[in-house]
Each structure stands twice: as C-alpha cells, then as structure tokens.
Amino acid sequence: MVNPARPFELLVCLIALALGLAAWFISDTFPRTAEGYLGPALFPKLLAVGLAVASLSLLYRNLRQPGLGASFKLLAWGNLLRIGGVLLALLLTPWALDRLGLLGSAGLLVLLSCLLLGARWLEALLTALFMVAFVYVVFVQLLKVPL
C-alpha cells in the first residue's frame, strides 16, 4: 500500500535540509574567539549538522521506497486545520511567555502541537513533560543559563 504522506514528507525533508544549510552558513557570520576556543557558532552549527543529517537520512529512506506517485491527501481540510492550529499556537506563544514563562509556554506549545497532530493524551503529556524537564536540566542546571 502506498503511503499518502510520501510527497509531503519529501517536501519537508528538502525544506529541513535547506534550513540546516542556511543555519550553517548564517552561523559562520558569528564572531570568532581570538584564543581559539569554541565560539558562539558551535551550538548552531551542531544543530545545523543534526538537522541536515536527519533530513538526508529521511530523504534517502523516502527515495528508496517504491510508490512515490501518492497524492497529497495529507493536505485534506482536516489536516490543514490541524496544521493551522499548530501555527496559531506558535503565534500565541509570545502571549503565553509573559504569563507562563519560557518552560511553561514551551511545554504548553508542545502539548497542544502533539494533540493537534493526532497524539494520544498520555503521549502528548509525557512528551511535553520530558521536553520541559530536558530543557530545565540542560540549560538551567548544566549550562547555568537563566530562563
């Protein structure tokens, strides 16, 4: 059976690859340290490499599978409304930042996005909680970044 989401996945892979390449080249414009230490471009470059590698691996997987003639059924009205809901949640994030803080608004955004994209309640809640805990541990506890 042909996966109806295949052309959309290919498009997303190409967009993610373009974003990864753009992030790499944009991070080249960040200032460099004179002492040779790792500068502010390191983390964006690592993210750019991760995004590019992930998109290339998904692109390879999609091109290796037969049946690329599938339709864009993913763009049906119900799915477009879900995607629109996620975009609306993104637009409301600055409003939530003032009221809930970074961790609260990010957790709420992940929860709403997961639910809108079809995840079950428990999966969505666990994903949001894990994301909040991960960001807190990595950035607040380990890197000492004030949120």
Q: Which residue has the higher pLDDT, 140 or 71?
A: 140
Which pairs with CB-CB distance under 8 Å and at least 24 residues apart come from 51-55? Answer: 51/16, 51/17, 51/19, 51/20, 51/23, 52/16, 52/17, 52/20, 52/21, 52/24, 54/16, 55/13, 55/14, 55/16, 55/17, 55/20
The answer to which of 15-19, 37-41, 46-50, 123-127 has the lowest mean pLDDT is 37-41
Q: Give the pLDDT mean for 55-73.
A: 68
Q: Give the whole-angstrom CA distance, residue 4 versus residue 76.
A: 11
Pull the structure tokens for residue 120: 């079950």
Average pLDDT in the chain? 80
Q: Where are the domains of the chain?
A: 1-74, 76-147
Residue 142 DSSP symbol: I
Amino acid making up residue 97: L
Q: Give the pLDDT mean for 31-49.
A: 80
Q: Is the predicted pLDDT of residue 51 greater than 90, yes or no?
A: no
Of 116, 115, 112, 110, nearest to 133 by C-alpha is 110
What is the structure's pLDDT at 76? Answer: 65
What is the structure's pLDDT at 121? Answer: 92
Q: What is the pLDDT of residues 99-140, one digit of tens each?
A: 998 899 989 888 988 888 788 999 999 999 999 999 999 888
What is the structure's pLDDT at 2? Answer: 45
Q: Give the whole-angstrom CA distance, residue 105 versus residue 117.
A: 18
